[in-house]
Structure 1
Amino acid sequence: MHRRMLGNGYCARPVEMDCHFESICESCTFFVTTIEFRPTLERQRDEAAAKGQVAREQIFNGLLGRLDEQAG
């Protein structure tokens, strides 16, 4: 599988598909993350919470929840 490294996971979008949205990766269906990125995701969630960015905080909570499900 082709994967492009991101700051908090990987993009699994097929190479032949173009992407015009370089800043919405966490809500993209091709976004993949792993336990190694948990500290980064937690910091991003905490920053969103501190800034009152509820929707962004929920995205990171969802990603962290999926990591917990995968680990359990």
Structure 2
Amino acid sequence: MAELRREMHRRMLGNGCCARPVEMDCPFGSICESCTFFVTTIGFRPTLERQRDDAAAKGQVAREHIFDGLVSRLDGEAS
């Protein structure tokens, strides 16, 4: 059960996940994705959507908004 609880609190990253315990709130949550130097392409859309859905499922509204913005920006660039 402890392993399942730990998995439930992992934050998905593009190349893995952050296993920082939920009790140790990270001030850098989604820092890479909100950095002005962060660049993404349509090829990462499925990953960004999974990250957005993961944030929504965990009630992490701020993270969800970050990934919503990235997906929306991809939509704008595609049109």
User: 1:7, 1:54 → 2: CA distance?
Assistant: 19
Matched letter for residue 44 of structure 1? Q
1:39 paired residue number: 46
User: 1:40, 1:52 → 2: CA distance?
Assistant: 18
Structure 1 runs of 4+ with >6 Å offset: none
Matched letter for residue 61 of structure 1? D
**CA RMSD for the aligned pairs?**
1.9
More helix by share: 2
Instruction: Map 1:1-72; keep pairs closer than 5 Å.
Output: 7=14, 24-72=31-79
Unaligned runs of 5+ in 2: 1-12, 16-27
User: 2:43, 2:66 → 1: CA distance?
Assistant: 18
Aligned sequence identity (%): 83
Answer with 1 or 2: which has the greater Rg: 2
With the length of structure 1 as denominator, give the TM-score of the two structures.
0.69
With the length of structure 2 as denominator, give the TM-score of the two structures.
0.63
2:8 paired residue number: none
